[in-house]
Chain A
Amino acid sequence: MQGRKKQNMIELKNVHFSYESATKDTKLALNRINLKISCGEFVAVVGANGSGKSTLAKHLNGLLIPTSGDVLVLGANTKCEEDSIFIKKNVGMVFQNPDNQLVFTIVEEDVAFALENLGVPQQEMRERVEKTLSQLNILEYKNASNAELSGGQKQLVAIAGVLVINPKFIVLDESTAMLDPQSRDDVMCILKKLNSELGIAVVLITHFMEEAALAERIIVMNEGKVELDDSPRQVFKKLELLESIGLSVPQVTKFCHELNLLGENLPLGIVDENECAIELAKILKGPRR
């Protein structure tokens, strides 16, 4: 860790990755990725199936090492074996299926897993587990068995399991995909809170465009490349491009787009229902044509 420049971001420099060992025409799961994700950001990553989102996510905490190029987490290179724990401590990862990521049967024991691994003393461990559980409003399930919980609650337990070690980044790989709309809202609400109150950067991989629209920034992946990297408004303006790579846009955006095709003149890339309503009201109240 010596000689590392202090940086407060994850930086991907010219990252290439292929699951197969390199021959001439192997398919690249990641192709020349250059990205910077800073502390405190709320980033959404979208892309069709097989576009490389999960592969990208696994690079962010060193689960996968780039075939070529570098990933620097707060200045530490994921290639460096000694920094492995430092990196995993700072970049928490939550996966899609809660049943595959909870290690122990009882909630509090599972949340303590990462602390046990880091050798935290028992008294401190109990305090931190309780604090984290109450931050996520699931303190009441402390002694419950994971099998009794709903999908949304399980996913909150999984988030607690990484939050407990105070990471600077949390990466969620389609963690809301298996949840019903209500639980999905709950999880999003918690993520927003963690981001704004604790300043934890959130990298949210999702197939739900409405969810992505809530981020400050959207990264669009296509065939292992970063296709777009911009604010939701700018990204959703490119409706044709998105549809050509198998993605959709939020319904409001689509709706405004269709109105424009009928000759209206709404601003491009509206992502907010409220904003859409205001714009529509303007037209409705405006002079009859």
Chain B
Amino acid sequence: MNPILQEVTLGNFLQTNSVVHKIDPRLKLGSVFVYTILICMFRGIYALLLTFVALLAVYKGAKIPLKALWKNLKVIVPIITIAAMVNIFLIPGSVVFEIWFLKVTKEGLIFTLMMFFRASCLVSGTALLTFTTSPGSLVDALEYFARPVRMFGGSPNEIAMAISIAIRFVPTLFTELGKIIAAQKSRVAPFDSPKLRERLRAYLPVIVPLFHITSKRAEDLACAMESRCYAGNNKRTKFRILRFGTLDFVALVLMLVCAVGTFWVDRWRLYS
């Protein structure tokens, strides 16, 4: 498969059959949520450092190569660098050293470091979820958490179905888009024009056929789904059934211990 397509369809997912992959996607999704909140609440650098190290250990356990993680982390490097350059000179406090008129303070250094680790923790944590959970299981987990919409007459089943189909359609659209662009190029569409205006205008005749083709395909898919007895009701059974097993229980306890532990480290180091 085309590597770009692969990336788009499967996202980050890397099947290594590790224990982490086998954990219930609901637990993984839920804990990433809690984890994100926790990371934002930490006030000291020690807890962040500790979390980052622990996370690297989980990556090892999940058999995800650190190179893959780096690909995700790379994205935030420019943002962090810009933010750091601003903060490091602007935060007042005890001066560590001076370059010409710029003062670097201890507070500024710590703040920058914390920002760096906070961002890294957030990115690597969420990336771990997508590395170890297939889009399908992720949708299952979403469906589970969408259950409350039933109270308002919504159907989590239909929401999940819509998301799955959207995911499934992405590669098709990409292929189609490629074809249309090639077709327009062969009619000398100015995609590479130095003028932005012209380039933008060249894309208009791409969007229109893309919409047309997409709606045709959607119609076909609807026919196929209907032919295969889809009626959008809640009587459907699931091919993949989520089971909260012993492994998940152990993982949950471990994560709770880690969360409470790091939180305690954070607050205790801060106030003592």
Residues of A at under 8 Å CB distance from B? 58, 61, 63, 84-85, 88-89, 92-93, 95, 97, 99-106, 108-109, 112-122, 125-126, 129, 145, 147-148, 158, 161-162, 165
Contact = CB atoms under 8 A, between A and B. Distances in A.
Contact of A105 (B136, B217, B227, B228): B136
A95 B220 contact: yes
B22 to A, nearest CB: 15
Given A104-B164, A105-B136, A63 B229 contact: no
Contact of B135 (A88, A105, A148): A105
A58 B227 CA distance: 9
A103 B225 contact: yes
B223 A106 contact: no
B50 interface: no
A104 B171 CA distance: 12
B191 to A, nearest CB: 25
Contacts of B236: 116-117, 119
B162 to A, nearest CB: 12
B239 interface: yes
Contact of A162 (B136, B171, B227): B227
A58 B226 CA distance: 11
B10 A114 contact: no
Contacts of A85: 229, 231
Nearest to A89: B229
A122 B237 contact: yes
A59 to B, nearest CB: 12
B220, B221, B223, B228 pick with most chain A CB within 10 angstroms: B228
Given A97-B220, A104-B136, A116 B239 contact: yes
B230 A117 contact: yes
A86 to B, nearest CB: 10
Interface in B211-261: 217, 220-221, 223-231, 235-241
A3 B223 CA distance: 29
B167 interface: yes
B136 A106 contact: yes
Contacts of A118: 229
In this complex, the interface size class of chain B, counting residues with CB under 8 Å from chain A, is 20 to 34
Prevailing SS type, chain A contact patch: helix
A145 B7 CA distance: 13
Given A85-B229, A92-B227, A100 B237 contact: no
Contacts of A104: 136, 164, 168
A105 B167 contact: yes
B83 interface: no
Contact of B239 (A102, A112, A147, A148): A112
Contact of A101 (B165, B167, B220, B237): B220
A120 B237 CA distance: 6
In the A-B complex, list the 8 residue pairs whose CB atoms are closest, starting with the nearest: A101-B224, A100-B220, A112-B239, A93-B227, A114-B228, A117-B229, A119-B235, A117-B230
A84 B227 CA distance: 10
B172 interface: yes
Interface string B1-41: 10001000110000000000000000000000000000000
A187 B136 CA distance: 29
Contact of A63 (B167, B171, B227): B227
Nearest to A101: B224
B220 A117 contact: no
Contacts of A84: 231
Contacts of B231: 84-85, 117
Contacts of B10: 145
